[in-house]
Amino acid sequence: MSEYDYDLLTIGAGSGGVRASRMAAQTGAKVAVCEEDRAGGTCVLRGCVPKKLLVYASEFASHFDDAQGFGWTVGKSHIDWPKLINTKNNELDRLNGVYNRILDNHGVELLLGRGKLIDAHTVEVAGKQYTAKNILIAVGGWPVLPNVPGVEHAITSNEALDLPELPRRMVIVGGGYIAVEFAGIFAGLGVEVTEIIRADRLLRGFDDDLRVELEREMTKRGINILASTQVQSITKKDSHLELTLGNGEILETDCVMYATGRAPNTSSLGLENAGVEIDEKGASKVDEHYQTNVDSMYAVGDATDRVCLTPVALAEGMVLVQNLFTDTPNTSLDYDNIPSAVFSQPPLGTVGLTEAQAHEKYGKIDVYTSRFKAMKHTLSGRDEYTFMKLIVEPESDRVIGVHMMGPDAAEILQGIGIALKCGATKAQFDATIGIHPSAAEEFVTMREKRPESGEA
């Protein structure tokens, strides 16, 4: 009989935690997962899923406008925000039920309550202590608010998903993908949106051409972007909020949303009781096998603050289980060429190196770009462009970066991601027959190098 209650006890029933728990249980391990909220985690309850559903809803306004160019007469329309939130929440309830069934069907015990570490093998949940041979930290991340006077009057992405009513005016502070996505959502739903960023452009860390192109398209959609701007304070008035900006300007709005960063949700977890080392943001430090400095303790996903993407957390959870409970130890995850998307409007898809990263790594590179109006908009009349970019290392002819802005960017870049993972060359792209007429075919028909390609 084991000296522990469980072979694996996971703290957090989000994507990474549920995947690791059920995969471990499939090997015959005795597994439990504790959760203070509902099974599903950030992605299902407060992130990817509800946000994408709201993106879909917000796109209908432009669809209605575009329909006229195709001969459709569309009557006056309006958004029923409470109905949208209700149907969105019904879907989240359904998904939460799916996650609960997944755990139950695989024999994983769900412990309700926030887990707190007592020592390296003991977790307390709702006043009861449980022991485990291995403990997995999979608590995800949480929005962080800056130290700005009056910031208590602001909301985060969590609250933005369940506002009781749509504001007439909204300020979104931040230039990352969460801020950009919510700016598109609320602008599409008819809200007057201003986005405030400290940097000179949106989406720091993305390819510079994508940043320029997206900012141009967002501005066309009526989003007011205030670059190189900081909020000094927020003041609540009787009927609105006032933001004092760094230049002394006063900006009136009805709602302020901050999307200026997230941090691992590890506070009050008791990591110090187990001796787990964390960094300045509270992230658990782990090796390539997701083991912390404590032999029995592991961490995956946003709790490690490395690559904060749901599919990465899923993959990390699977690798962890392979190492702990199967005959394939020392398995690790390849973090190169991870495709990602921003569900902005229009959306972005990207995989591989940015142009700046490619220059830094290889020096000489070849760059191919294409900017065109999508076929749909030749009839809709919408002033919107699609942008695509290929980055090639000339010595090997290998494609090392692919970037796109335009409809279906995420769907297209998923397939391109497979090609880059396989080490595809530009010659192989060129030899591939395109699907016509489609935007995707542009990736296999780009022949002219951009003149300024070459040394950084």
Indicate the burial class of 208 (C-beta count within 10 angstroms; 0-12, 13-18, 19 or more): middle
Query: Residue 63 catalytic?
Result: no
Q: Assign residue 270 a region (left: φ > 0; alpha: ψ between -120 and 50; beta: otherwise).
A: left
Contacts of 75 (CB under 8 A, 6+ apart): none
Q: 348-352 and 262-264: which strand pairing?
A: unpaired
Gap between the Cα atoms of 4 and 356, Å rounded: 51
Amino acid at residue number 187: A
CA 357 to chain centre: 21
- Vertex 405, ends 77 and 428: CA angle to 5°? 140
* Dihedral in degrees, nearest 10, Cα atoms 337, 15, 136, 308: 40
Largest CA distance in the chain: 73
∠ CA 332-261-304 to the nearest 5 degrees?
25
Which one of the listed residues 78, 121, 359, 436 is annotated catalytic? 436
How buried is 138 (Cβ within 10 angstroms: 0-12 exposed, 13-18 middle, 19+ buried)?
A: buried
CA atoms within 13 A on the CB side of 13: 30
**CA-closest candidate to residue 210, choices 382, 453, 402, 439:** 402
**3-state secondary structure labels for all residues of 327-353:** CCCCCCCCCCCCCEEECCCCCEEEEEC
Phi, psi for residue 76 in degrees, rounded to 5: -65, 135
Question: 15-26 and 81-105 are packed helices; what angle lies between their axes, rounded to 10 degrees?
Answer: 20
Q: Is 293 exposed, middle or buried (0-12, 13-18, 19+ CB in 10 A)?
A: middle
Residue 218's nearest CA partner among 384, 402, 388, 47 is 384
Are the CB atoms for 174 and 227 separated by under 8 Å? no
Active site residues: 436
